C-alpha cells in the first residue's frame, strides 16, 4: 500500500473522532507542511523534521506538537504529553467538533513551523546517574558475563533498562520485564534498538 493510501486509510477509519481529525487534516494541509506517516499516525514535517501529528484517542482527538514547549500558547490549551517524562512535546486536546478553532490552530501551526525553521530544540540535560533497581542488581551480581555485557552498554541504554524495570508498578510486572530484557542485555543490545 502506498503512503498516501495508508494516510487516507487512517483518516477513513470508522471511529468516534473521524470527522474531527479530518477537519484538523484540512487545516494542516493549508500550510507548507508535508504529510507523512510515522508510528502508525499522520505526522507533518518541514525539511524532514517532525513538526506536528494528528491523533484520535478514546476520549479526545487533537494535535501534538513535537517542539510545543517553545510555543507561546496564548490560549493556554497545550498540555505536557507525559508530565515528568516528555520534555518538549505538547498536546492540544479536543473533545468535540465545536472545539476546533481554525484560526487559532493555524496560528499555533505557523508558530511551530517558524520555530522549526529557527532550529529551536531542547538540548539534552546532563546525563543522570544510572540507578540500578535491586531486582536487576541481584541478577547482575549472580551472572558475571551478564554484568560485563550490561556495563559495556552505553549509559543511556543502561538507564533505559533500569527505568523499564523501576517504572513497573507491580512486582510481577517487574519480574516479567526482567526476564524479557536478560537475553537482550546478554546480546549487548538496547531495549529499543530494534526500532532504530
pLDDT in tens, 121-163: 887 666 667 899 999 999 999 999 999 999 999 888 999 999 9
Going residue by residue through the chain, which has 196 residues, state the pLDDT in tens, using 9 for 90 and above: 799 999 999 999 999 999 999 999 999 999 999 999 998 899 999 999 999 999 999 999 999 999 999 999 999 999 997 776 788 999 999 999 999 999 999 999 999 999 999 999 887 666 667 899 999 999 999 999 999 999 999 888 999 999 999 999 999 999 999 999 999 999 999 998 876 5
Residues 18 and 95 placed together within one structural domain of the fold: yes
Give the bridge partners for 63, in sequence order. Answer: 54, 92
Residues 10 and 96 placed together within one structural domain of the fold: yes
Contacts of residue 140, defined as CB under 8 A and 6 or more positions apart, other chains included, come to 132, 146, 147, 150
Structural domain that includes position 14: 3-118
pLDDT at residue number 85: 72
What is the Cα–Cα distance from 100 to 116, expressed in whole angstroms? 24
- End of a domain among 94, 118, 142? 118
pTM of the model: 0.66
- End of a domain among 54, 84, 118? 118
Residues 13 and 70 placed together within one structural domain of the fold: yes
What is the Cα–Cα distance from 189 to 150, expressed in whole angstroms? 9
What is the Cα–Cα distance from 24 to 106, expressed in whole angstroms? 10
Query: Is there a domain that residue 128 lies in?
Result: no
**Residues across the chain:** 196
Query: Is there a domain that residue 112 lies in?
Result: yes
Residues 141 and 107 placed together within one structural domain of the fold: no
What is the Cα–Cα distance from 6 to 12, expressed in whole angstroms? 10
For residue 43, the SS3 value is strand
- Closest by CA to 105, choosing from 70, 66, 65, 67, is 65
Total number of domains in the chain: 2
- End of a domain among 118, 145, 161? 118
- Closest by CA to 68, choosing from 112, 21, 2, is 112
Residues 17 and 89 placed together within one structural domain of the fold: yes
Residues 148 and 114 placed together within one structural domain of the fold: no
| Cβ(95)–Cβ(69) below 8 Å | no
Residues 114 and 138 placed together within one structural domain of the fold: no
Amino acid at each position: 500500500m502506498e503512503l498516501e493510501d495508508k494516510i487516507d486509510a487512517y483518516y477513513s477509519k470508522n471511529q468516534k473522532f473521524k470527522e474531527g481529525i479530518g477537519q484538523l487534516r484540512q487545516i494542516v494541509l493549508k500550510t507548507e507542511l508535508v504529510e507523512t506517516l510515522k508510528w502508525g499516525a499522520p505526522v507533518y514535517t518541514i525539511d524532514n523534521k517532525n513538526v506536528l501529528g494528528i491523533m484520535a484517542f478514546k476520549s479526545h482527538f487533537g494535535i501534538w506538537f513535537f517542539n510545543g514547549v517553545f510555543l507561546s500558547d496564548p490560549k493556554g490549551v497545550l498540555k505536557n504529553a507525559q508530565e515528568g517524562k516528555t520534555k518538549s512535546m505538547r498536546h492540544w486536546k479536543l473533545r468535540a467538533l465545536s472545539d476546533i478553532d481554525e484560526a487559532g490552530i493555524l496560528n499555533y501551526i505557523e508558530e511551530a513551523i517558524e520555530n522549526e525553521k529557527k532550529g529551536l530544540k531542547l538540548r539534552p540535560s546532563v546525563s543522570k546517574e544510572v540507578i540500578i533497581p535491586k531486582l536487576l542488581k541481584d541478577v547482575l551480581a549472580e551472572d558475571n558475563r551478564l554484568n560485563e555485557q550490561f556495563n559495556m552498554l552505553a549509559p543511556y541504554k543502561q538507564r533505559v533498562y533500569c527505568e523499564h524495570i523501576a517504572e513497573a508498578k507491580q512486582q510481577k510486572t517487574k519480574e516479567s520485564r526482567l526476564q524479557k530484557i536478560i537475553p537482550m542485555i546478554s546480546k549487548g543490545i538496547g531495549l529499543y534498538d530494534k526500532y532504530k
